[in-house]
Amino acid sequence: MTAEALSDSDQRFFAEAVEIAHSTVWCAMTTVDVHGRPRSRIVHPVWKMDGGRVTGWLTTRPTPLKSRHLANNPHVSLAYIAANTDFAYFDCTASWVDDPAGKRTCWQAFLEAPEPVRYDPASIWPDGPTSENFAALRFTPYRIQWARAERIGRGEKPSLVRLAPTPNP
């Protein structure tokens, strides 16, 4: 699935969701196993806008469990909940990036990310993006929802952006 270009209004909404995500840093990523059961783990993605396209990146290890889940169903949900209860949800299609240029793009996204989400992946993979157990996941969101706690407290609804039709698994 390819991401759709965002309108100016949607880009502002997206920027707010990314601000919540990047200030929270860690999120719960939920995948689905071969029996249709959800499984969550804590991960540290970064988000980028390029030409109106939304892309998330994750440095990770290609564990057998994660690989099986994504091979069976590439849809993931990434849930950020800040200490003050601001939240951002990114529902995405996940894809492994196996080519060297794509792995370098993922690696660089972390080096260039703003604080506090920035980190140097070499602290985990000292041999760089060609390390044997380094893997890159790309997230293409099809739905983003976010809200600031003070706005929810006033009765406002969360902001929602649908980027593409949600395909059935």
Residue 4: per-residue pLDDT: 53
Check the CA dihedral 115-118-119-120 and report its sign.
Answer: negative
CA angle (12, 15, 20) in 5-degree steps: 135
Average pLDDT over residues 46-51: 86
The phi, psi pair for 117, rounded to 5°, reads -80, -20
Q: For the domain 8-162, what is the CATH code?
A: 2.30.110.10
Residues 12-45 pLDDT 10s: 888 899 999 999 999 999 999 999 999 999 999 9
pLDDT digits (tens, 9 = 90+) for 94-104: 999 999 999 99
51 or 38: whose pLDDT is higher?
A: 38
pLDDT band at 107 (very low <50, low <70, confident <90, very high): very high
Distance CA 7, CA 23 (A): 24
Helix, strand or coil, per DSSP, at residue 145: strand
